[in-house]
Amino acid sequence: MPGIDASGKPSGEQPSTGAGRATPSWLRKSVESIEGSTALDPAVDLLTPVAASVGAGARGDALRGRRLGHALHPLLTDLPLGCWIGAGLLDLFGGKGARRAAQRLVGLGLVFVPPTAAAGMADLSAVDEQRIRRVGAAHATGNTMVALLYWCSWRARRRHQHVRGVVYGLLGGLLAWGTGYLGGHLSFGRGVGVGPRGLDDDAPSGAGGRQRVDTGAVPDVAELIDIAAAAELLMVEPDQIHAMVAGGLLVPADGDHSAVTFTRAAVLAARSLGG
């Protein structure tokens, strides 16, 4: 994220007209089609009570990463994906001697699936907006298929059907690229699982001596907040919010730069990009 100079203007970046910054139209339309697809509503209806149960009480707090200071789900995804990537590399470069190790990595990745999925469901339990729930349902369904393909890969390897096991693994890995993008869209595009956690309870706040207090509630990422609240969330002065809008780093809720409200998700995403 570019720095902000003493005058409150972004440094190291030329004024942006939006050219070259927009998401490719095919990708944007693909995500919008998922968000607007009523065909996913039955899956949403099926997942919602499950997510609510998983995300309830102290267990839900733990799965959302309250004790970590940030969301747990993105951290856990590295475990199965890391195992499966390792297995794929052994398949490609390890030779026959690495087949057993690759099989074990595929199986170990499957062991990590349940806690990873549970953490994702806990995050989904806090979502109220239907279009975001639809993406969550597509993400969860896709990842279920990824896990099924890797289970088929593990089973084939156990039966000494190595080539079939490798093919299943490659298919699972390719599908995981797509589901991973949807997961990134949920976290960074829509702000699911983003927000203050337990480490902010007693943390000094930086600019102006501000302090954020975690009440334990999950913020509504679609909530509209004003410039003062955005400055509080980003821990900057209000005039720097104007500079971020002018520099294209923060977009008002209605897309009009004369507006004075932002979605909480947009502000949280700007904070994540700024580290």
Q: How confident is the model over 44-66, as pLDDT tens digits?
A: 999 999 999 999 999 999 999 98
Instruction: Give yes or no for residue 19 having a pLDDT over 70.
Output: no
**CA-based angle 227:228:234, to the nearest 5?**
85
- Predicted confidence at residue 20, as pLDDT, reads 42
Pairing outcome for strands 224-226 and 261-263: antiparallel
**CA-to-CA distance for 269 and 149, rounded, in angstroms?**
33
Q: Report the C-alpha gap between 50 and 140 in whole angstroms.
A: 12
CB–CB of 133/127 below 8 Å? yes
Q: Is 127 helix (H, G, I), strand (E, B) or coil?
A: coil
Confidence band (pLDDT; 50, 70, 90) for 206? very low
- State percent of the chain over pLDDT 90: 55
Per residue in 107-161, pLDDT (tens digit) is 999 999 999 999 999 999 999 999 999 999 999 999 999 999 999 999 999 999 9
Please tell me the least confidently modeled range out of 101-105, 145-149, 179-183, 237-241: 237-241
The amino acid at residue 234 is L
Q: Is the pLDDT of residue 7 over 50?
A: no
Q: Indicate the Cα dihedral angle 23, 26, 31, 35, nearest 10°.
A: 120
pLDDT at 271 over 80: no
CB 261 within 8 A of CB 226: yes
